[in-house]
Amino acid sequence: MVHRFTLTTPLYYVNDKPHIGSVYTTLAADAMARWHRLQGDQVCLITGCDEHGLKIQRSATAAGVPTKDYVDCMAGHFAALWQRIGISHDRFVRTSTPRHQQLVHEFYERVHGNGHIRPGQQRGWYCVACEEFKDGNSEDGGTPHCAIHDRPLEWRDEENLFFCLSHFQEPIAQLVAQESFIGPASRRREVQRFVEAGLRDFSISRVDLPWGIPVPRQPGHTFYVWFDALLGYVTALPDPDGPQDLATALTSGWPAQLHLIGKDILRFHAVYWPAMLMAADLPLPERVFGHGFLTREGRKMGKTLGNTLDPEALFAKVGVEPVRWYLLRDIQFGEDGDIQQKRFLDLVNNDLANTVGNLVNRTVSMSRRWFADCVPPRGENDDAPPPSPRRRSCDHDGPGKPVLCPTRSPGRCHGNPGPCRDRQRLFE
RNA sequence: CGCGGGGUAGAGCAGUCUGGUAGCUCGUCGGGCUCAUAACCCGAAGGUCAGGAGUUCAAAUCUCCUCCCCGCCA
């Protein structure tokens, strides 16, 4: 029986061009997708762009172009970059397309029909960058600032629609208690505690935000990020030339086996999203994995620090494969990881040039010199296990595993030079 | 305040659940070898396992306390 394996990257927010963090997630997802294809699984790797929201609308205005043109351009950057680095995605979904809107509406009607939508008043300080209301933040009378983005908040007082997350307190608590659902394990308890503290309904619409999907029967309302962007994972599945509805998605690879995301949006994927799916009577994804963040030479990357790593420039300078290797080999997948130039050089030289490259080189050279450019016939002792004098304690660094493979923890993957090292030893 | 994760060799980490010679990769140093790239192979140095107390024949591992880092709540 052929196993389906549907996995997703986040749908990247097209406020700006792709950054190294998006590249990291996507490279990892791609490696896993390729590994599962090698296992014979029927893989669907989904990536794409989240294209709505006030921040994008403002960025477009600032750039002096129509919003649609702006997101087309940005989405183009993402698509081009994925092509450049050989991402093997099966779907590239965009949330500003009619097909997506169609599915969002169907989903909303289901949830609404099941009684999990209510009106409510949303009043408070709003961070446009987070696209979130902040509470307990207006102490000294002045305009409060967002702690994350260090920018002034904006006062809002509006009627929104709310999703009744509180209806799902028990089932969600049970879900996140499952060991397999949230990875890495170190982040599971955090989510558990959050759920135990009590789930609160959250708003799913905004007013006065024309750049979004209109809410049925609610003139002036558009859907807020989660009831729009998360649905993209489902939108992506049906054949682009066929019918676009939930029933078709269910026969086309939903539910996903894995949502691969950054740790910052773990809660939305591990709590909000499954509750939304429950509300719509849809099956849940099997696993959500929140990987860590990348730093550079020990420091957070950011525009204010001026130490961002532009992927285009990086690839132009050192090539794609060294970056792929370094990120997947040296960063403990799940934990935060530091990108260091010296370390990068050492690893690429050691693993790719010296271990893998030189292995190929000397193999070819031996073949040429002693075996008339051929691979010699099998000898008597070829079934004997290769000598591996060094004991290995790392589970991801042993012989017999592919060079890029998932480790024992589902959803993880890791570069592994071990097999090539063993072959080198064998030649001695 | 509360909650979660972490502190093991110069660096990054595994080992902790199930106590029993402290391990992997990189870096450093020395030796060897050629089919091979300043390659490859072999070897060495380098760690009071954050600190303290306890349990035990035996603690990186179990219990309690303290200190320090990071994250969540924001």
Distance A367 CA to B28 C1' (A): 36
> Any idea which nucleotide's C1' is nearest the CA of A362?
B36
What is the Cα–Cα distance from A178 to A275, expressed in whole angstroms? 15
Look at residues A312, A344, A314, A318 and name the one whose alpha carbon lies nearest to residue A329.
A344
Q: What is the DSSP letter of A37?
A: H
Distance A66 CA to B43 C1' (A): 67
Beta strands A221-223 and A117-127 are unpaired
- The protein footprint on chain B, as nucleotides within 7 A of a CB, is 3-6, 11-15, 23-27, 35-37, 39-43, 70-74
Look at residues A253, A315, A280 and name the one whose alpha carbon lies nearest to residue A87.
A315
pLDDT value for A416: 66
Amino acid at A397: D
Could you say which residues 30-89 of protein chain A have a Cβ atom less than 7 A away from any atom in strand B? Answer: none
pLDDT value for A386: 43
Do A276 and A111 form a contact (C-beta atoms < 8 A)? Answer: yes
Helix, strand, coil percentages (3-state) for chain A, rounded to 5, are: 40, 20, 40
Could you say which residues 384-403 of protein chain A have a Cβ atom less than 7 A away from any atom in strand B? Answer: 389-395, 397
> Any idea which nucleotide's C1' is nearest the CA of A428?
B41
Do A204 and A163 form a contact (C-beta atoms < 8 A)? Answer: yes
Could you say which residues 362-381 of protein chain A have a Cβ atom less than 7 A away from any atom in strand B? Answer: 362-363, 365-366, 369
Low-confidence ranges of chain A (pLDDT < 50): 137-139, 385-413
- Confirm whether any atom of chain B, the nucleic acid strand, is less than 7 Å from CB of A186: yes
> Any idea which nucleotide's C1' is nearest the CA of A331?
B12
What is the Cα–Cα distance from A354 to A347, expressed in whole angstroms? 10
Q: Which helix (H) or strand (E) holds A194?
A: helix A185-196
> Any idea which nucleotide's C1' is nearest the CA of A346?
B26
What is the Cα–Cα distance from A237 to A254, expressed in whole angstroms? 7
- Confirm whether any atom of chain B, the nucleic acid strand, is less than 7 Å from CB of A149: no
Do A51 and A101 form a contact (C-beta atoms < 8 A)? Answer: no
Count of beta carbons in the 10 Å neighbourhood of residue A337: 18
Q: How far is CA A100 from CA A78, A95, A107, A372, in A?
A: 18, 6, 11, 59
Burial of A229 (0-12, 13-18, 19+ CB in 10 A): buried
- Confirm whether any atom of chain B, the nucleic acid strand, is less than 7 Å from CB of A332: yes
- Confirm whether any atom of chain B, the nucleic acid strand, is less than 7 Å from CB of A247: no
What is the Cα–Cα distance from A286 to A260, expressed in whole angstroms? 11
> Any idea which nucleotide's C1' is nearest the CA of A388?
B41
> Any idea which nucleotide's C1' is nearest the CA of A389?
B42
Residue A283 preceded by cis peptide, ω within 30: no
| A289: helix, strand or coil | strand
Q: How many CA atoms lie within 13 A of A385 on its CB side?
A: 5
| A336: helix, strand or coil | coil
> Any idea which nucleotide's C1' is nearest the CA of A330?
B12
Maximum CA extent, chain A: 84
What is the Cα–Cα distance from A114 to A107, expressed in whole angstroms? 11
Residue A184 preceded by cis peptide, ω within 30: yes
pLDDT value for A364: 85
